[in-house]
Amino acid sequence: MRPFVRTAFSIALPLAMIAASAAAAEFTAKDLAAEEGKFAAYSVKHGMRAAFLEFFADQSWLLRPEPVDAKTWLRARPDPAIVLDWKSQRTVRTASGDLGFSTGPWLLRNKTDPSAPATHGQFFSVWQKQKNGDWKVFIDHGISHGPTATPDVLPGTPLVALDLKAQKPAATTPADDAEQQFIARGSAAYADVITPRTRLLREGQFPIDGMAAIGEYLKSQQGQWSWTVKLQGASRANDFAYAVGNFTWQPKEGATRKGQYVRVWVREASGATPPRWTLAAEVLTPEPAPKS
């Protein structure tokens, strides 16, 4: 740690932190939902491929199923014959105003066969503020639950927006790594980090929200989990973190399953010093079971 210098710098630093906080507050979690709405409207009007190329950051990631460079992957493929629409249901914005998270329902219709049933699912996106001030998608993933829509079907999806508040800067040592803390806890990890606002997304299922529902779900997932991180990072305020990687699950009975995951962590101002990391959301998508 650098020594504290009691000069004009010590006065300027709090003022700079206040100014940075005010600048970050100009773009809120509700604004992120509005930006997601512009993205969806562009998709409906111009097609999914054009929308993703327009609203994704130059350095961004899709899981297909492993992380791939999003724009390179998209440019190599034609625009699918679909109409894809979606709407944010939950958003988070870090106090430093450089990262955010958005999730909610999506709806897909077939352009070539309008009579075909619509497909539904949930998207999961990490957004990043660019050097020019624009907000772009940095990581994108999601799940499908087929022809069955969740109760929060478009367009009446309610929004829960969380703006993380500026707090005393927290440590950024390896011991403070939210993802590595989680991995180190082993099978009891989820119990330590879920809150009433936590959301889990699982392929083929509706969102699993809140401590009671997640607790019931976890009872059915007994076994040994292991995690390998492929990509991770945190906000400048160190109150928001993300991780992308692979999982292996060995249930107590049955075959081993493997797949990919994305997690978003938040650290809200609270009585704890420093505030503890909690799991905001997680999406987990297993690879298809091997054919017998």
Is residue 65 within 8 Å of 237, Cβ to Cβ? no
pTM of the model: 0.87
**Tokens standing for residue 115:** 């009579």
Round to the nearest angstrom and report the end-to-end CA distance of the chain.
57
**Tokens standing for residue 44:** 């409906």
Instruction: Quote the pLDDT of residue 126.
Output: 98
The one-letter amino acid at 169:
P
Domains and CATH numbers, the chain: 24-163 (3.10.450.50), 174-286 (3.10.450.50)
Hey, which residues does 69 pair with through a beta bridge?
Answer: 61
pLDDT along the chain (292 residues), means of 10: 28 41 72 98 97 98 96 96 96 97 96 92 98 97 91 84 80 71 87 94 94 92 91 94 95 89 90 80 87 57
Axis-axis angle for helices 29-46, 48-55 (nearest 10) = 140
Half-sphere exposure of 11 (CA within 13 A, CB side): 2
Instruction: Quote the pLDDT of residue 13.
Output: 36
